[in-house]
Chain A
Amino acid sequence: MRDHTGEAPVAYARAWRLAARDRPGNNRNPVNTSVAVPLLELDQVSRRLAGREIVHALSFGVARGEVLGLLGVNGAGKSTTLRLIAGVLTPDAGAVRLDGECLHEAPHRHARRIGYLPERVPLHAELSVVEYLDFCARLRGLGTATARAAVAREIERCELGEVRRRLTGQLSKGYQQRVGLAQALLHEPDLIVLDEPASGLDPLQAVRLRDLIRDLGTRHAVIVSTHQLAEAQAVCDRVAILHQGTLRHCGPCTNGEAGLERLFLAIVAGSTGLAA
């Protein structure tokens, strides 16, 4: 099953629009059906690391008001794809476009439109939550008053109030993950890129995170990588399944969790010889 790999971006965009329009019961984000051009578009993107091709000829996109789930087994190329999208890694071939402009031709200009939570939260252990978030906000070009307001807003939104004065290095994994999420949202980016955001969260926090991502997905373009199919099914409008560095499927979340699981296993097992 290789639905979109190698497609031209125009053909992809058309297929994406049709999929969004025709998705049954897609009333969570009505904006999906009206957006004509994806905010973010990957066009035949490939990248090698340490002599090995990690991702090959990826083409997909995501629009404002949409949550795209990036699925795949370990080593499928999810994190590399997200780093390419976040602008911290440059593609060897192809282009990543934000609003039609190549991200890597002017990475510094586009970076402030992207909020990125990497797989390992980039914390400064010797700073308190407030100090760290204030630094992140100012790094994204927010002024003093705006930064203070943004920090207060994200502390509230990510439920960090009770640990706001504690050092980030002394927080539990779940709180650290939430601090990482807060830093990605401080500057109200157009595109939010979250690499395994539920990692380390307890079940209650995970449910709240789902609600938060769904809420973000109404106003921003959101890309979430996850191993958990139930989580993808719960929060994503569409899923892109990566396997061995190539895009094997990109389409709406239909047929429930069981359908997604069957599709995922068929793709993974199909290439490993396992029974689906």
Chain B
Amino acid sequence: MSAVWLIARHELRRLVVQFWPWALLAAALALLAYLFLLGIDSFLALAPKIAGRSEAPGVTDLIAIPQLRTLGNLLLLLVPLLTMPSLAGERRRHSLVLLLGAGVGELRIVLGKWLGAWLSVLVLIAFALAMPLALAAGTTLDLGRIAAAALGLALAAGALSAIGVYASALSAQPAFAAALALAMNLLLAVADTGARLQGVVDGGINYLALPTHLEPFLRGIVSSIDIVYFALLAGVMLLLAARQLAALREQGA
């Protein structure tokens, strides 16, 4: 078994045996379920008014995609909470030495931590997806669009997990790591707000913003430039985390 997968599996196992990740998952799903029911209620009220129109939005547009968009926003907050103990917790418990002393390179440690965190977020996304998919029992869904949205959310979760792991490498305090990751996520989320208010939608600042690349997936468009953005963001963050880990070894932390 490769060290990366071993560490990832270990991270998942540690999350599974603790109470707080389950509480976090339950709280997130409860919120999403409440919003889902509100969405169904609104749709039932609106349906008679738009019935018969040729371009009328359907269940996918009015319930499923808004639900997944909300999940995307929620990930900005939830992912830092899940990733905060990955390296900061190891440092606080003085157990990082176990990984560093075992002959596993810094990059593989970081990749393992990231993979474990990402997989745990994917579990949350899978649970959240079950709600809109359950509508398929009573109506016809645009499954292609939902699949594209799920792919976008999964990629965004990967990038956010990488940010979380990097933030976790910067501090021995998990709470500080979570706050730092949240700040970085929010910065990426609102990076181009000012530019958009001035009508700029194609500038470099727009490219940096996370919603610019998540929104096409939610509209059902899978574009390589958006995939590259998330992959690049994750890659850069993981390399920075590995460098930070190497620096920690150098400093004897």
The stretch that binds B, out of A123-131, A210-218, A252-260, is A123-131
Whether B17 pairs with A127 at a CB distance below 8 angstroms is yes
Q: If the complex has contacts A124-B14, A127-B17, A135-B10, are A140 and B95 also in contact, measured as CB distance less than 8 A?
A: no
Other-chain residue from B1, B13, B17, B94 in contact with A122 (beta carbon distance below 8 A): B94
- State A118–B100 Cα separation when bound (angstroms): 12
- State A89–B250 Cα separation when bound (angstroms): 6
Q: Which of B2-18 contact A (CB under 8 A)?
A: 3, 6-7, 10, 13-14, 17-18
Whether B93 pairs with A123 at a CB distance below 8 angstroms is yes
Q: Count A-B contacts at CB 8 Å.
A: 73
Q: If the complex has contacts A127-B14, A135-B6, are A122 and B95 also in contact, measured as CB distance less than 8 A?
A: yes
The number of chain A residues touching the other chain, given as a range, is 20 to 34
Whether B104 pairs with A139 at a CB distance below 8 angstroms is yes
The stretch that binds B, out of A4-12, A109-117, A231-239, is A109-117
Whether B102 pairs with A140 at a CB distance below 8 angstroms is yes
**Dominant SS at the B interface?**
helix
- State A166–B18 Cα separation when bound (angstroms): 15
- Central interface residue in A122, A123, A126, by most chain B CB within 10 Å: A122
B252 on the A face (CB < 8 A): yes
Whether B93 pairs with A116 at a CB distance below 8 angstroms is no
Whether B105 pairs with A86 at a CB distance below 8 angstroms is no
Given contacts A88-B100, A122-B93, A123-B95, 15 further A-B contacts (CB under 8 A): A83-B97, A83-B252, A89-B252, A90-B249, A107-B103, A116-B101, A120-B94, A122-B95, A122-B96, A123-B93, A127-B13, A127-B14, A138-B1, A139-B98, A144-B1
Residues of A within 8 A of B (CB): 47, 49, 80, 83, 86-90, 107-112, 114, 116, 118, 120, 122-127, 131, 135-136, 138-141, 144, 183
Listed by A's residue number, 26 A-B pairs whose Cβ atoms lie within 8 Å are A47-B252, A49-B251, A83-B97, A86-B97, A86-B101, A87-B101, A87-B103, A108-B104, A110-B103, A111-B101, A111-B102, A116-B97, A116-B101, A118-B94, A120-B94, A122-B96, A122-B97, A124-B14, A126-B17, A135-B6, A136-B102, A138-B6, A139-B7, A139-B98, A139-B102, A144-B1
Residues of B within 8 A of A (CB): 1, 3, 6-7, 10, 13-14, 17-18, 93-105, 249-252
